[in-house]
Amino acid sequence: MTRKRILRDIIGIFKDKASILKANLSTKRGVSSIQVTVIRATTHSSTSPPRNHRVAAIISAGDHSLPAIYTCIDAIMDRLHSTQNPYVALKCLFIFHNIMSKGSLLYKDHASFFPSSGGHNSLNLSGFYDKFDVETRQLSSWVRWYANVLERNMITSRTLGSYISPSSKLSINFDKIENHKGNNISFSDSVTEMESLVCMVEVICEAPESQYCQKIDLVHEIMILISEDYRSSQYHIMIRLVELSGRVSRLSYLDLSELILCLSRLEGCRKKMNELFIRRKNDLFWEMVSQKKMDLEKVKYEREKQSLLLWNVDENCDELNWSSQRFGGKIQQFLVTA
């Protein structure tokens, strides 16, 4: 470790102590307690993920009342947007992700404030960059990517009407999925949900390539959480494919084309996703996607073939009418001259 890095770490420790001291000076003890908990969970000094008991304390603090929820979210977002340290930023995002998966419904609702609306707790870290050294530059790309994943998580959850981050490890039962009875939702809504789920997989697929960063404990724990979101996305995609399969004949040509395009984009993520999540290498999922795509393409081809046939019939009818009119005109002219 270089002298420059040691000095930076010491400065980070002093920053944490100063932030804790400032929080303790607050006259509002409840607010102060939450702020201190957030600071201690997101220190500059450690490359390890926040300790479980600190994450649990932040989640449980938001279960008591609405003001406590606001305080927790504000504390996390203030910490996130006031730092230029990638470790602190990743820890803040990690805690936020845990809230999205393990927090109460009310907690999740307030944490998932729509990101594109420009609210105070919009993640919006596209410009995050720490150029201190090679490591911080690489980690900065992980911060930007992780923020994008969480924003897409919130958008997709809003589209589905349910939170995509599972509260516990999700087990996929293919027999139950195949026998799933469709919901009474419109075709366009089903296609919109599929498109949003595919976007979720695509954003995860954009993970930085750095092998070094993946060996860091904090990044490793982040990837475990994201793998559960990926697993949940697979589940929701399969459910919707089964729902749509029984109603393909009633899909409009536009919805059919959009659905095929979605599945083509999804197939383009297969290699990268299998590399990212070796233990989540779900061949049955990808086989199902490929099969459903082939089925949809077959239906589309038959419709196009039928449309072409009808078009040719119309053309022939028009030609026949034109010929009849021309021939009829000549007969009438002949009769008049005769």
260 is in which domain, residue-wise?
A: 1-306
For residues 220 and 206, give the distance between their C-alpha atoms in angstroms, rounded to a whole number: 16
For residues 83 and 73, give the distance between their C-alpha atoms in angstroms, rounded to a whole number: 16
What pLDDT is stored for residue 120 in this prediction? 45
Taking only Cα atoms into account, the Rg of the chain, rounded to an integer number of angstroms, comes to: 28
Q: Is residue 324 part of a domain?
A: no
pLDDT-based confidence at 334, cuts 50/70/90? very low
Q: Are 80 and 124 in contact (CB under 8 A)?
A: no
Q: Where are the alpha helices (DSSP H) in 206-245?
A: 211-214, 217-245
The helix/strand/coil state of 169 is coil
Q: Is residue 78 part of a domain?
A: yes
Q: Are 198 and 262 in contact (CB under 8 A)?
A: yes
Q: Is residue 203 part of a domain?
A: yes
Which CATH number covers residue 205? 1.25.40.90
What pLDDT is stored for residue 310 in this prediction? 60
Q: Is the dihedral of CA 104, 152, 138, 127 positive or negative?
A: negative
Percent of the chain's residues with pLDDT above 90: 52
Task: Answer with the residue of higher pLDDT: 65 or 122.
Answer: 65
Q: Is residue 321 part of a domain?
A: no
Stretch 172-201: mean pLDDT, rounded? Answer: 75
Count of domains forming the chain: 1
Q: Is residue 331 part of a domain?
A: no
Q: Is residue 111 part of a domain?
A: yes
Q: Is residue 223 part of a domain?
A: yes
Stretch 218-242: mean pLDDT, rounded? Answer: 93
Q: Is residue 144 part of a domain?
A: yes
Stretch 28-49: mean pLDDT, rounded? Answer: 92
For residues 160 and 135, give the distance between their C-alpha atoms in angstroms, rounded to a whole number: 37
